[in-house]
A = this chain, B = another copy of it.
Amino acid sequence: MIEAQRAQSAFAGWADASPSDRARALRALSDRLEDNREDLIVVASEETGLTTSRLTAELTRTIVQIRFFSDEVMSGRHYGAQIDEQDDNFILGIRPNLRRYLVPVGPVLNFAAGNFPFAFSVCGGDTVSALAAGCPVVVKAHSGHPRLADMTARIASEALEANGAPAHTLQVIHGQENGLRLLEAPEIRVATFTGSTDVGRMLAHRAASREKPIPFFGELGSVNPVFVTDGAIRENADVIISGLVASISGSAGQLCTKPGYIFVPEGYDVEEMLIRALSATEEHRLLTQGMSRSYQEAHDHQLRALPDEPIDVGSLTLDGGGFAWVRPTVARCSAEFLCSQPELVEEVFGPFAVLVSYSPNTDLVSVADTLFDGVLTATIHAQPDEDIADLVSWATHHAGRVLFGGWPTGVAVTHAQQHGGPWPATTLDMSTSVGVAALSRFLRGVAFQDVPERFLPPPLQDANPWGVPQNVSPAGESSTWGTAVPLGA
């Protein structure tokens, strides 16, 4: 496809750009988005039904994220430059002069998400981390906001190209068929995706079945369990309930980190509190007609399947355009029941959650093991003196992010963020799509053996013209290998 060829033609120039050139282009991109803030938000609001305040915050986050990656590019850390000096007394003979750094892999195809028209779309985290790594990007726009996608792409392309990026460093295409065809293009070297588990599985399989297979980084679904201990509910019931309602109703629950199952000890009557908090939520349109249908089906299926009376069934009406207008629904069941039918556990994409009551002698770790595979987040509300070490350990082995208190919605853009967890949360769970490590999805190592300075890439030259961090292993070090831990008697 022509877009793949164009991306390939942009690759060498963008890949070889100096950190300051690449960072400057990214910075300009963030500035142009800021300049066009009002127009962007008007179109986003029309297309997605998300509130202006939410979209304003999301665009700010998107702009900040670009600047964060711009600085990261400037730091030069992403080159991972490692220099092993030649060692004529190497323990295995002669060690050559070996220098390794990370290079961009090539053109990236990014399937944009529908629920974040800025932060996970044309100029969102996947795109920007790939650009920061030095890869041209083709975005397959989400059908939920096509006009916004084109508008963003136009602004972005102008900003990038006016600041030295090659033509076609960023492109947008529309349509599922085109996306699938581009996924087959030999020039495409990595694909990223944010969306449902079913679509993610299908795309991952296609990526793996290409004549030249490529990595597919998909952020898929997650049910995000929340475990509330006895101590927490006794001390903080009101804060927990209001936080829960805010977390499941914000953006109409259309967030991959929305808490799906909230475990609360039985015997505490939180029903009234919950109903009151839910009554204060406003009706919200869902993002697309397709998501509206899916939500209605999953919502009704859950209500039929769960034997207990729901705590509150929110409104759910279709407008003339086929969009659902919704208020949150909170269903309920016992941990015992859910463990008897673990196949009921599913992500319901929208403002729906299940309150799961558990009896005093319940082993929450065993319940969690029965019910959940990998998840993006696991949250524990407990008092600091309660013994939750086993639950933290379970969460560490099953989640990408473990929270103590608070709510998983709202993914901070920062160094230590991890947005990605074991399958089915993420297809390649060594990856994250938010935070500094998002860059590494688009890099691969290349080693240079005995290559003269003039043919070395700048990050590996002794002269180090870009001033990047270089880690040097001196000659002679191998003689001490293995002595760091003396074996005891």
Contacts and interface: CB of A to CB of B under 8 A. Distances in A.
Most buried by B among A103, A403, A405, A444: A444
Nearest to A81: B416
A451 interface: yes
Interface in A72-104: 74-75, 82-84, 90-92, 95-96, 98-100, 103
Nearest to A60: B92
Given A28-B487, A413-B92, A445 B100 contact: no
Interface in A11-60: 12, 20, 23-24, 27-28, 30-31, 57, 60
Contacts of A451: 392, 402-404
A317 interface: no
Contacts of A450: 403-406
The main secondary structure of chain A at its interface with chain B is mixed
A101 to B, nearest CB: 9
A389 B66 CA distance: 33
Contacts of A418: 100, 445-447
A310 interface: no
A423 B67 CA distance: 33
Contacts of A488: 24
A103 B421 CA distance: 11
Residue among A82, A418, A422, A441 with the most chain B CB within 10 A? A418
A209 B204 CA distance: 9
A384 B452 contact: yes
A114 interface: no
A54 B209 CA distance: 38
A205 B209 contact: yes
A416 B432 CA distance: 24
A485 interface: yes
A484 B430 contact: no
Interface of A: 12, 20, 23-24, 27-28, 30-31, 57, 60-61, 64, 66-68, 70-71, 74-75, 82-84, 90-92, 95-96, 98-100, 103, 105-106, 163, 189, 201, 204-205, 208-209, 212-215, 373, 384, 388-389, 392-393, 396-397, 399-406, 412-418, 420, 422-424, 427-432, 435-437, 440-441, 443-452, 454-455, 457, 471, 473, 478, 481-485, 487-488
